[in-house]
Amino acid sequence: MEKKWQELKKRLKEIYDLQSVISLLNWDQNTYMPQTAGGARGSQLAALGRIAHDKLTDPRLGELLEELDGQWPSDSLEADLIRAAKREVDRETKVPADFVSRFYQNTSETYQAWVAAREENRFDKVAPHLERTLELSREYAHYFSGFDHVADPLIDRADYGMKAKELQALFGKLRKQLVPLVEQVTAGPEVSQACIKQHFPKEKQLAYAKQLISAMGFDFNRGRLDLAPHPFMIRLAHDDVRITTRVNEEDVTEVLFSTIHETGHAFYELGIDADLEGTPLHTGASSGIHESQSRLWENVVGRSRAFWQAHYPSLQAAFPSQLGNVSLDDYVRAINRAEKSLIRIEADEFTYNLHVIIRFDLEMAMLEGKLDVKDLPEMWRSRYQSDLGISPTDDNHGVLQDIHWYADFIGGMFQGYTLGNILSCQFYEAACRVHPQIPDEIANGNVSTLHGWLKENVYRHGSRWTTTELVRRATGSEMTIAPYIAYLKRKADELHLGR
């Protein structure tokens, strides 16, 4: 058994390394690669994807997993690794190698077309590629059986065990709570954002972003920060986690909160036990759990008055002419202003999930054959008008704003954001029950206790457990929207309804 165990780990490490190289090429494509290199990069990614797929579907790997299954207690690390590997092998075995190659080629071409389409602000430039992506998304789903909805296999990739029907019910329950709350907090006089809507030089913004996340504990010996059209985090190895951000010289909050958001993702990957590297367990448990960490650090911590009580003086020092005479209270109100807006990643906490629900509903309609790609911009505008009372006048503020459909499948990506919002508050509440001093420590610039609790209870375990099991172990209860709704209502009372 020991010899077979070592052979299994060696095979899994080879796959892990190939996937890391694919991630490196994707990082380069999103940051520094020349635009004209898109065709070659697509070919490279397709070749590596095919090799990784061949290794995952090698019959010998399946034999090893079957022979080793049941040799350890069901709650052991070895058993968890075997379960995760079997799940991944089973998924890949059902998908032909030819499909994998076509998918990677299409993804690279579609991403490049999306970049060009954004430059011209024209959806029609990328629409034919997106039609192909929709075809591939449906094709992928139909390789699987035993699912109730065409989106279920796609959702399963990011949030294992979640179903379209469950998510639709969850979104409906949330929407009933959020719609009236949004109406409340967006009514009445607007909070001024003049202090953050000034000219902030690009290089100074980047320098301060690095300073801020360094103070939060981001280790630049194990990661780096770069610019990208759409901010993201990507893990290349246990000690190599890359984050990106973007800068708007007329709004300092874009760099601040996109950087803190991606740092939350990075904290998770950097906190996974090193012993799990080279295995399928060396990654986050799910999209929802991962997003809970970016949203916890970005919003629950990063938009709190306590956090800026500690860090606002350094921000004022970095931009004295813009913020030197702006009070902490005015700044905190500005960064928390609630408004009905068009851009998801810039949305406030009260309206954010309405953006997610729109995207989720649209991708369900496309997958079900109820919405054609050519009609997507118009349906997008219609949904924004009905749900938020506003409508984009161009594609960059509408259907072209998110990278997701242009760099992956259609379906299975957006639900993680809402799950993350819910769980961010549930994890934070659990940490504060054990360590009630956390809010006071944050106000003094110390996030180590919170970070330590998260590392011990969430990060280090990687993907050993499902979302449901990890939440139960970390918080002592099932996933619940109660802490999230209570948090939003407290924030509404403190910052909006009392204005």
| Residue range 186-197, pLDDT digits in tens | 887 788 999 999
- pLDDT, residue 69, reads 95
Instruction: Kindly tell me if the per-residue pLDDT of 80 is higher than 50.
Output: yes
Instruction: Supply 310's token pair.
Output: 């500690």
pLDDT score at 244:
97
Residue 152 to residue 147: CA distance in whole angstroms = 6
Q: What is the Cα–Cα distance from 102 to 49, expressed in whole angstroms?
A: 10
Higher pLDDT, 98 or 299: 299
Q: What pLDDT does residue 494 have?
A: 84
Q: Beta-carbon neighbour count of residue 303 at 10 Å?
A: 20
Angle in degrees, 0-180, between the axes of helices 2-31 and 77-93, rounded to the nearest 10 = 60
* Mean pLDDT calculated for residue range 362-388: 95
Task: Assign 123 to helix, strand or coil.
Answer: helix
Q: For the chain, which residues make up each domain, given as ranges?
A: 2-145, 165-496
Predicted TM-score (pTM) of the model is 0.88
Binding residues: 261, 265, 291
Token digits for 491?
């924030």
Average pLDDT in the 92-119 region?
A: 91
- Which position has the token pair 């990278």? 403
Count each helix (H run) and each strand (E run) in the chain, helices first: 22, 3
Which uninterrupted H or E stretch holds 242? strand 240-245
User: Would you say residue 473 has pLDDT above 60?
Assistant: yes
Average pLDDT value for residue range 430-445? 98
**Residue 443 main-chain phi, psi, to 5 deg:** -65, -20
Q: What are the two backbone dihedrals, phi and then psi, of residue 234, each rounded to the nearest 5 degrees?
A: -145, 135
* Residues 6, 476: Cα–Cα separation, whole Å: 35
Mapped onto helix, strand or coil, the DSSP state of residue 319 is coil
Is the predicted pLDDT of residue 119 greater than 80, yes or no? yes
Task: Phi first, then psi: give them for residue 236, nearest 5 degrees.
Answer: -100, -30
DSSP 8-state secondary structure symbol assigned to residue 263: H
For residue 128, pLDDT beyond 80: yes
> Among this protein's residues, is 262 annotated catalytic?
yes
Residues annotated within the binding site for Zn(2+) are: 261, 265, 291
| Residue 498's pLDDT band (cuts 50, 70, 90) | very low
Q: What is the pLDDT of residues 193-230, one digit of tens each?
A: 999 999 999 999 999 999 999 999 999 999 999 999 88
- Banded model confidence at residue 496, pLDDT cuts 50, 70, 90: low
Q: What is the mean pLDDT of residues 234-251?
A: 96
Q: Could you report the per-residue pLDDT of 31-52, keeping only the tens digit for each?
A: 999 989 988 998 999 899 889 9
Question: To which residue do tokens 């990677």 refer?
Answer: 104
Alpha carbon distance, N-terminus to C-terminus of the chain: 67
**How many C-beta neighbours within 10 Å does residue 163 have?**
16
Compute how many other C-beta atoms are within 10 angstroms of the C-beta atom of residue 59: 8
Residue 172 has pLDDT above 80, yes or no: yes
Could you give the CA distance from residue 450 to residue 216 in angstroms, rounded to a whole number? 11
pLDDT(418) > 50: yes
pLDDT in tens, 332-351: 999 999 999 999 988 999 99
Q: Is 146 helix (H, G, I), strand (E, B) or coil?
A: coil
Any idea which architecture 165-496 has in CATH?
A: Orthogonal Bundle (1.10)
pLDDT at 499: 43
CA–CA gap between residue 407 and residue 299 (Å, rounded): 26
H-type alpha helices, 159-275: 164-185, 202-216, 253-271
Q: How far is CA 471 from CA 98, 420, 423, in A?
A: 37, 12, 8
250 burial via Cβ count (<10 Å: 0-12, 13-18, 19+): exposed
Q: Across residues 117-125, what is the average pLDDT?
A: 96
**How far is Cα 479 from Cα 422, in angstroms, rounded to an integer?**
8
**262, 298, 349, 363: which is the annotated catalytic residue?**
262
Selection from 27, 53, 59 nearest residue 41 by Cα = 27
